[in-house]
Amino acid sequence: MSGKPNPPACNCDDLIQFTNCRLVRNHQLIEDDLWVRAGKIINPEPIFFDERSKAHRRVDCGGAIIAPGYIDLQINGGYGVDFSFDKDTTEAGIRKVAQGLVKSGVTSFCPTLVTSPNENYHTILPRIPKRVEGGAGVLGVHVEGPFINPQKKGAHPENCIQTLENGIETLCATYGSLDGIKIITLAPEKVKDLSVIRQLVKAGITVALGHSMANLSEGEQAAQHGATLITHLFNAMLPFHHRDPGLVGLLASDAIPAGQTVYFGIIADGVHTHPAALRIAYRTHPQGLILVTDAISALGLEDGIHHIGQLPLEVKRGKAFVAGTDTLCGSIAPMDECVRIFRNATNCSTVYAIEAATLHPALCLRIEAQKGTLDFDSDADFILLDDKLHVLSTYIAGICVHRA
């Protein structure tokens, strides 16, 4: 880098031209300028030929990579905040995490609530803001449970786990409302009537499979009803077996409806998933791979006792455990570190590693017209990276919110 870009002027209607950069566009790195106005990435041709306008400000990027902002579909908290536990300070907690995440290049995220008492859902969900000034945007909430299998509960409190008995009626009673929910993780074998998955998808909610003892057939039936995501692949599910590969087998199943992609979150923090497992997933089903942090409240904190949901956790030796046990309960690696670890472990291209944290999650949530790309008319949420994929600066709606 020959220098650091300065934040653009405050006038959001100004035409900003980012020069001396390489853009992640069309699955490749291309040398081109990025044009931004009014919070959007724009096509410069009409500017030149129709408006005959010039940039109000040019930003020299010093040869940096410009990529879409990272999108984290599964994050439980960070910086001392636990989304499931701190129900009396929800707004302040979301604000603190959102403003912290931009340092790791995250511009959009799904705050994730682990299995909790119904009253916690009723209290927390209505209080989660969608926008935070100077922070990453909230795409909607990921409720990870409580309709999971207690045999694969991980760090989820068993006394709060439920079976999905009466479809939407049970969901509404549990969560209070489906408003604001973007992803629901459930164990398909704990759902009495899988048609509820179709109803959720119709309502714009992504159904994920996880914390489950489901065999491959049960996973395929859920996918045929509209489930399109697997929660933290390899973790909290049956291990791969050659006679019944379980949910992992969905990556190579021939029973997925035509035109439907099965996406899967994977934690590339150097702890939860072995590098060989990362390579297996990448080589088996690259189009479905999504990097998630599964970060907990201890993200950004030192060793000690903290909380995740209803359970105490302990951070030691760079890992997070259910206190007093050897059960892993979440990651403390930020997204930019996960991207670097993944690229190094798989030897994938730089562009692919970036798209696994940008384009792929956007496609999974069906928001690729607004997020996850640098296409014209998409939101101007982007990051500047060096060649080692360290975050140099983060922009949201075309405004610089973080500089390294």
Contact, 385 vs 403, CB < 8 A?
no
Beta bridge partners of 34: 18
Look at residue 11 and tell me if it is in a domain: no
Look at residue 313 and tell me if it is in a domain: yes
**Beta-sheet strand order (sheet of 399-403):** 28-31, 22-25, 65-68, 382-385, 391-396, 399-403
Look at residue 128 and tell me if it is in a domain: yes
Q: Binding residue per annotation — 232? A: yes
DSSP 8-state code for residue 85: T
Residues 272 and 303 in one domain: yes
Q: Binding residue per annotation — 225? A: no
Residues 273 and 247 in one domain: yes
Residues 283 and 356 in one domain: yes
Q: What is the mean pLDDT of the chain?
A: 93
Residues 279 and 242 in one domain: yes
Q: Binding residue per annotation — 330? A: yes
- pLDDT (tens digit, 9 = 90+) per residue, 71-85? 999 999 999 899 998
pLDDT at 295: 94
Q: Is residue 318 very low, low, confident or very high in pLDDT (cuts 50, 70, 90)?
A: confident
Contact, 126 vs 180, CB < 8 A?
yes
Give the pair of three-digit tokens for residue 151: 């045999």
Rounded CA separation 39/393 (Å): 16
Residues 150 and 38 in one domain: no
Q: Which of 107-116, 121-130, 261-270, 325-334 has the lowest average pLDDT?
A: 325-334
Residues 35 and 62 in one domain: yes
Q: Binding residue per annotation — 243? A: yes
Rounded CA separation 75/357 (Å): 13
Residues 111 and 33 in one domain: no
For the segment 307-313, the average pLDDT, to the nearest whole number, is 73
pLDDT at 309: 66
For the segment 192-218, the average pLDDT, to the nearest whole number, is 98
Look at residue 370 and tell me if it is in a domain: no
CATH classification of the domain holding 259? 3.20.20.140
Q: Binding residue per annotation — 211? A: yes
Choice between 363 and 317, residue whose per-residue pLDDT is larger: 363
Look at residue 6 and tell me if it is in a domain: no
The rounded percent of the chain whose pLDDT value lies above 70 is 96
For residue 280, the surrounding DSSP H or E stretch is helix 275-284
Choice between 277 and 298, residue whose per-residue pLDDT is larger: 277
Rounded CA separation 76/104 (Å): 16
Rounded CA separation 228/214 (Å): 15
Q: Binding residue per annotation — 189? A: no
Contact, 34 vs 18, CB < 8 A?
yes
Look at residue 38 and tell me if it is in a domain: yes
pLDDT at position 1 over 80: no
Count of domains forming the chain: 2
pLDDT at position 12 over 70: no
Residues 75 and 62 in one domain: no
Q: Binding residue per annotation — 390? A: no
Look at residue 2 and tell me if it is in a domain: no
Rounded CA separation 272/256 (Å): 27
Residues 113 and 253 in one domain: yes
pTM metric for this prediction? 0.94
Rounded CA separation 198/50 (Å): 46
pLDDT at position 168 over 70: yes
Give the pair of three-digit tokens for residue 71: 């999108």
For residue 16, the Cα-to-chain-centroid distance in whole angstroms is 28
pLDDT at position 263 over 70: yes
Residues 85 and 32 in one domain: no
pLDDT at 327: 82
Residues 248 and 302 in one domain: yes
- Residue 151 belongs to domain spanning: 70-365
Look at residue 371 and tell me if it is in a domain: no
pLDDT at 51: 66
Residue 10: CB atoms within 10 Å: 7
Q: Is residue 47 very low, low, confident or very high in pLDDT (cuts 50, 70, 90)?
A: confident
CATH classification of the domain holding 52? 2.30.40.10
Q: Binding residue per annotation — 289? A: no
Beta bridge partners of 237: 212
Beta bridge partners of 57: 16
Contact, 105 vs 325, CB < 8 A?
no
Q: Active-site residues: which are they?
A: 294
For residue 330, the Cα-to-chain-centroid distance in whole angstroms is 14
pLDDT at 11: 60
Q: Binding residue per annotation — 295? A: no
Give the pair of three-digit tokens for residue 53: 């306008």
Residues 118 and 204 in one domain: yes
Rounded CA separation 163/13 (Å): 51
Nearest partner of 320 among 310, 329, 309, 311, judged by Cα: 329
Rounded CA separation 295/292 (Å): 8
